[in-house]
Structure 1
Amino acid sequence: MTDTTTLIAQLRALLVLTQTEEQIARIRVTQARTDAVRRELQQNAEHAAERTTAIAEQLRRLGGMTDVVTPALGRLGALVKATLEQAEPIDEALLQDLQLEHQLLDRATYLKVLAQTAEQPAVHELAERLVTAHSATVEWLTVVLAEQALGGPAALRATPFQRVAGGAGKLASLPVRFAANTVNRAVDTAQHAGGQAGGAVNGVVGDVVGRATAFSGAVRETLTVGRVASLRRAERIAEREGNSSTAEAVAATRRELGDLTAEELPIAGYDSMSTAQIAKAVRELDDPQQVNAVIRYEEAHKARSSVVSATQTRLAALAKEAVGIPE
């Protein structure tokens, strides 16, 4: 028979991790793209709270005293995670969520075997419940990441900082080099002009960074409009010069921002269709990029929740297919 000390240690570890899971789920609620995802995340948070209570009860039953520090540690862990991930793209944050769920699943599986060996049926039942819950969450996060990999807006929206972090990564590989070349020439000139010029450049950069942190929603919207106009102009220039690869790259970036016309959508007569007709048409799309185009157009122009949910459901189905998860 296994000493209950090991069981208590695993229950304590699961308690801290489950507290963290609950807080992260509550943070993710604010990032939900659709009402359905928001409800699911709210339920996840509530279920995590219930699991926390069940774990604490088993700890008390086995003589492992619970304390007021453990829940605080879980909340602190979630807060630290949420703060640190602001400097990361959304996919990195989701990968860390997935890592947490895998750790919870592995510990719950270990606890299940320990409880069986120690002849603790109540703990064994709890462990089975945990394994089922975390297996479902692992699958859900895997699909969300697959949606992201397919290029579509995932079930969760990136925070403003995460959009900047992700956009920086995309910008680095963007084949449109006019802005980059201009910046490179300016920096090169400043370096040759000497340290004083370098100090001036640093001062300007610092000022820009400082101002960026104070942008309001209205200013960000203005910048987005300006960015779309610039992309359209860059696309026209590339097409005029016969640079089709650059023109397509810029067009893809423009479409990702939701700057689409109805004629560019894969569904003919989109603007004259009812929401039910659109939902039916979306279910027939097999190309994730086409589904993404519909999502981004709808969000940028009409923002009908039923249409967004239908397209998101189709994208999730394609993501499941991509990772080998049966419907």
Structure 2
Amino acid sequence: MTDNTKIVNQLRALVLLTQTEEQVARTRVSQARTDAVRRELNQNADHAAERTRLITEQLRALGGVPDVVTPALGRLSAVLKATFEQAAPLEEALLTDLQLEHQLLDRATYVKALATKAELPKVEHLAERLITAHKATVEWLTVVLAEEALGGPAALMPTPLQRVAGTAARAANAPVRFVANRVNEVLDSAQQVRDEAGDRLGEVADKASSFTGAVRETLTVGRSAALRRAERIARREGNRDAADAARSAREELGDVTADELPIKGFDSMSTADAAKAAKALRSPHDINVVIRYEETHKNRSSVISAAQVALAAVAKEVVGVDS
């Protein structure tokens, strides 16, 4: 097999993968958390389309048969990928995106080496351009994943099905799970002391009955009210872990008071001052709380973007990416 044949085969593979990359970027646009991310994703998709055109040009110049099927395969691959992702959490979809970018980067690097040996400067220049683009995308996806790992809202939002598959399902179920766990704890305690104090069984039954009523109430009231009630019961019972879990779920929903925010006087700040204060935050938890609160209250895009910048800065530190 000649070097040119190897290059042609790799360029064909790159066309297919780049078509998929373009369609994935267009799919992700609807998941963008901010207008800035939405613009970036649209630009990424347009740039991927341009890269497909350039790769195809080089294929023709090298005598490669123009492939009218590959673009359709690329689009189909992206559609199938997006469909399968709906049953997986957002982080799994992003990891798959990252895998695609790494494959594009590795193939472009290989093409550069082949082109250097074959003395094809135009192909070598194209490969360098691809390498630069895919390195930037790998870095961006790595930071987005780090943002998600740090507990803050990433640049991309999960779809409704991904939300169910991921952390939001746990948040929604937190109050019911807490009450069920308390029932189990009470019953377990009753079993341990049953032989020593038979009259305790009546008390346990009363508690179990009251918690059963609490379960019914949890299922009928609003989610925010249920979380607040779960937190209140947990603190009253001295169950700090359960109380903290309920509060975390509230924070994830943006259901906190202004007094609970990490920025004092946040509600009374101007948009510019609120954005400046949000951008100065360095705790992923605090940034997350502010973003969720802002999204569910005033929803000022500049404030949310500033907080997102703060989270990205922390994420870059964690993964060792230069700002």
Q: Which residue of 2 aligns with 1:277?
A: 273
Deviation at 1:170, TM superposition (A): 3.8
Contact map agreement 1:176 1:246 (CA 8 A) in 2: no
Alignment match, 1:236: 232
Distance 1:232 1:308 in 2: 25
TM-score, with length taken from structure 1? 0.84
Match of 2:312 among 303, 309, 316: 316
Cα shift at 1:245: 1.7
Q: Which residue of 2 aligns with 1:124?
A: 124
Query: Quick check: 1:176–1:250 contact (8 Å CA) kept in 2?
Result: no
Q: Does 2:303 correspond to 1:307?
A: yes
2-structure distance, mates of 1:274, 1:37: 24
Q: Considering only CA atoms, is the larger Rg found in Structure 1 or Structure 2?
A: 2
* Superimposed CA distance per residue, residues 109-147 of structure 1 (whole angstroms, 9 cap, x where no aligned partner): 000000001111110000000000000000000000000
Name the CA shift for 1:169/1:2 in 2 (closer, same or farther; >3 Å): farther
Pairing 1:1-327 to 2, within 5 Å after superposition = 2-167=2-167, 170=170, 177-178=177-178, 180=180, 226-327=222-323
Aligned residue type for 2:252: E
SS of the residue corresponding to residue 164 of structure 1 reads helix
Counterparts of 2:232 and 2:293, CA distance in 1: 21
Gaps of 5+ in 1: 185-222
CA gap of 1:181–1:269, structure 2 versus 1, over 3 A, is closer
Query: 1:108 is aligned with what amino acid?
Result: A
Bigger CA drift: 261-270 or 167-176?
167-176
Name the Cα RMSD after superposition: 2.3
Q: CA deviation at 1:172?
A: 11
CA distance 1:159–1:79, change in 2 (3 Å): same
Taking structure 1 as reference, are residues 183 and 62 closer, same or farther at Cα in structure 2, changes over 3 Å only? farther
| Matched-pair contact (CA < 8 Å) for 1:25–1:42 | yes
Residues 167 and 149 from structure 1, CA distance in 2 versus in 1: closer, same or farther, beyond 3 angstroms?
closer
After superposition, the Cα gap between the structure-2 partners of 1:183 and 1:241, relative to the gap in structure 1 and judged at 3 Å, is closer
Structure 1 CA distance, aligned partners of 2:91 and 2:30? 16
> Residue in 2 aligned with 1:187?
none
Separation in 2 of the partners of 1:325 and 1:176?
40
Q: Distance in 2 between matches of 1:139 and 1:224?
A: 45
CA contact (8 A) 2:171 2:252 kept: no
CA distance in 2, matches of 1:183, 1:37: 45
Tell me the amino acid that sits aligned with residue 264 of structure 1.
E
1:180–1:121 Cα change, 3 Å: farther
Aligned equivalents of 1:170 and 1:320: distance in 2? 27
Deviation at 1:286, TM superposition (A): 1.5
State how far apart, in whole Å, the 2-side matches of 1:137 and 1:183 are: 49
Instruction: Supply the distance in 2 between the matched residues of 1:98 and 1:2 (Cα, whole angstroms).
Output: 31
CA distance in 2, matches of 1:183, 1:13: 58
Q: 1 CA distance for matches of 2:140 and 2:121?
A: 29
Deviations 1:210-264 (A, max 9, x none): xxxxxxxxxxxxx998221111111111111121221111101111111111111
Q: Give the Å deviation of 1:100.
A: 0.2
State the alpha-carbon separation in 2 of the partners of residues 173 and 226 from structure 1.
Answer: 12
Tell me by how many angstroms 1:20 deviates. 0.1
Instruction: Report the 3-state secondary structure (helix = DSSP H, G, I; strand = E; otherwise coil) of the residue aligned with 1:87.
Output: coil
Query: C-alpha displacement at 1:173, in angstroms?
Result: 10
Cα drift, residue 280 of structure 1: 1.8
Distance in 1 between the 2:297 and 2:172 partners?
Answer: 29
% identical aligned pairs = 70
CA distance in structure 1 between the aligned counterparts of 2:89 and 2:220, rounded to whole angstroms: 19
Native 8 Å contact 1:2 1:114 kept in 2 = no
Contact map agreement 2:19 2:74 (CA 8 A) in 1: yes
CA drift of 1:25 comes to: 0.3
Higher alpha-carbon deviation: 171-180 or 45-54: 171-180
* CA 1:131–1:89: 2 relative to 1, 3 Å: same
Summarize deviations over 1:14-60 as a string: whole Å, max 9, x none: 00000000000000001100000000000000000000000000000
Residue ranges of structure 2 left out of the alignment (5+ in a row): 185-218
> Residues of 2 paired with 1:82 and 1:171: CA distance?
25
Question: How far did 1:179 drift?
Answer: 5.4
Letter in 1 for 2:268: S
- Mapped to 2, the partners of 1:113 and 1:103 lie a distance apart of 16
The structural deviation recorded for 1:168 is: 7.1
